Amino acid sequence: MTAHSLDGKVALITGGASGIGRAAALLFAKEGAAVGILDVNEGEGKSAAEEIRAGGGRAFFEHADVARADDCRRAVERAIRKFGGLHILFNNAGIIRRASVTRLSEEDWSRVMDVNVKAVFLLSKFAIPEIARSGGGSIINMGSGWGLSAGALAAAYCASKGAVVQLTRAMAIDHGPEKIRVNCLCPGDTDTPMLREEARQLGEPGDEFLAKTSRRPLRRIGTPEEIARAALYLASDASKFVTGTALVIDGGGLA
């Protein structure tokens, strides 16, 4: 058994149908975890769960709007019912709306804050008692480099990710005594459907946009698998004395 083994663990991953969430679901399952995949994309979510089961792993897909309390509660309850416990929560789901505050609609502001921040609160609210009953574990929240250093035309997104960083720290303080570690991932630009959606929102050709975002010391953008490996580190006993931190994985972009 390696330091990154998740044998005997149960994980819930939001936004698990694509991008970083899907990569994490496949990797966690490979390391021995039973995985619950939450997403609104039913086709891709079911496909990810089927891929895990085809490889001999255990997984289910749950159609869930993570900004809705009932959906979050139902997903946690299904994990307990199906796998008998819960040890890892990866609050990965997120959306972006590229606009300044003067051009951002109230509806878009609310939706970004709901998916990026409220969902972390809701899933954690229902998951924490179960993780504590299972003997403790790890919560990983998806932040961003823009939660630490802001960027242009992304007011709601930057605000939401800054909130996630601070929520992570507060949760780490509150739930450390329950043997629950809470950390935050802060990736730089990563080759995911959301990054390509940013290009669309800004009216820029996808290839040109990706080339521009690769201007960092390592001269490239990240891959979902690279961010998933960082999530695995925080989920596993390899990080058993790490809590309340914001781990930057951005190829040197913030530097």
Catalytic site positions: 157
Task: Using the structure block, give the residue that is written with the tokens 């749950």.
Answer: 62
Main-chain phi, psi angles of 246, to 5 degrees? -115, 105
Task: Using the structure block, give the residue that is written with the tokens 């496909």.
Answer: 47
Main-chain phi, psi angles of 31, to 5 degrees? -85, 5
Give the amino acid at 137.
Answer: G
Task: Using the structure block, give the residue that is written with the tokens 């007011």.
Answer: 155
> Residue 157's closest CA among 197, 204, 211?
197
Quick check: 61 and 109 in contact, CB under 8 A? no
DSSP 8-class letter at 251 = T
Quick check: 154 and 96 in contact, CB under 8 A? yes
Q: What angle do CA 235, 167, 216 make, to 5 degrees?
A: 70
